[in-house]
Amino acid sequence: MATTAERQRAYRSRRNDGDGVRRIDTWVSDEAFRALKRLAHHEGVSRKEIIQRLILDVDAGILKRLEIDSLEWAVYMNVTG
């Protein structure tokens, strides 16, 4: 019989099967967590959706300000993960 850790590892492996989804594991302040819950409830979407929107909105704003092929653009875009 598999241990809880083995089952979790297998689930995560199946979940990350190249479907373009990545796992984020982090801690946030109580204030940020409550704000996230409020935003999700207000918009009628999941916390995941709010986090994705916030990240992509901020990223789009930064990209708008950067000139393509500039050093700043290259530095910003060269972050891998």
Counting the structural domains of the chain, the total is 1
Q: Contact, 62 vs 76, CB < 8 A? A: yes
Which pLDDT band, with edges at 50, 70 and 90, does 60 fall under?
Answer: very high
Which pLDDT band, with edges at 50, 70 and 90, does 41 fall under?
Answer: very high
> Is residue 60, in this structure, part of any structural domain at all?
yes
> Is residue 68, in this structure, part of any structural domain at all?
yes
Q: How far apart are CA 39 and CA 59, in angstroms?
A: 19
Closest CA to 37 of 26, 50, 24: 50
pLDDT at 22 over 90: no
| DSSP 8-state code for residue 67 | P
> Is residue 21, in this structure, part of any structural domain at all?
no
Give the percent of the chain with pLDDT over 70.
94
Residue 55: give the domain boundaries: 29-81
Q: Summarize the confidence of residues 60-77 as an average pLDDT.
A: 93
Which pLDDT value is given to residue 18? 65
| DSSP 8-state code for residue 69 | T
How many Å is the maximal CA-CA distance in the chain?
A: 56
